[in-house]
Amino acid sequence: MFHKEKVLISACLIGENVKYNGKNNLLDDIEELKKRYDLVPFCPEVEGGLPTPRPPSEIVCFEPLKLVNQKGEDVTECFINGAKKCLEVCKSLDVEKAILKSNSPSCGKNRVYDGTFSGKLVALPGVTAKLLKENNIKVFDEKDMLIFTQTRLQFIQ
Ligand code: SF4
């Protein structure tokens, strides 16, 4: 039995129904991923105190950081709390890699919706992805993964 590296993963990618709409983003390749890695599921929005289901939120200002949900309610604190808790989990478990859901205001690696709730993306990371990157956690998203062989799973960036 080989030692499996712990990798944090957005909980919705492993099939937990934590998305804003109460659904998930289960990855097709999740079983292959589980064979090779000790996956640590985490949803920053839920852990930050938001309910499921919940109105979708977007980042309306990056500096200073402000997020609102579709009802116009300020949810910044929940997003910050969730990101901090996620970093704590990574540190406590010596996690060095995270696979996060693309385009999410928490988990988006490189891009998030632009705060107008119109489906437009901007080239900036989500709140949790940013904090993890600033603390030297390697952040990937579900589009970075390719399974090449039966014995090896590679990440490409
Ligand atoms: S915050 Fe991240 S883990 Fe939670 S539902 Fe959104 S994308 Fe998935």
The pLDDT profile of the chain, 157 residues, written as one tens digit per residue, is 678 899 999 999 999 999 999 999 999 889 988 988 999 999 999 999 999 999 999 999 999 999 999 999 999 999 999 999 999 999 999 999 999 999 999 999 999 999 999 999 999 999 999 999 999 999 999 888 764 334 445 555 4
Does ligand 1 come within 6 angstroms of the Cβ of 19?
Answer: yes
Among protein residues, the one whose CA lies closest to atom 5 of ligand 1: 19
Sign of the four-CA dihedral 138, 35, 5, 25:
positive
Please give the tally of structural domains in the chain.
Answer: 1
Helices 76-92 and 127-134: angle between axes, nearest 10 degrees: 40
Among protein residues, the one whose CA lies closest to atom 6 of ligand 1: 19
The single-letter DSSP state of residue 20 is T
| Distance from Cα 1 to the centre of ligand 1, integer Å | 31
Range of the domain at 93: 5-155
Tell me the whole-structure pTM to 2 decimals: 0.93
Q: Which two tokens stand for residue 42?
A: 């985490």
Burial 124-157 (b: 16+ CB within 10 A, else e): ebbbbbbbbeeeebebbbbeebeeeeeeebeeee
Ligand 1 atom closest to the CA of 20, numbered from 1:
5
Q: Which two tokens stand for residue 29?
A: 């390749």
How far apart CA 12 and CA 42 sit, in angstroms, is 8
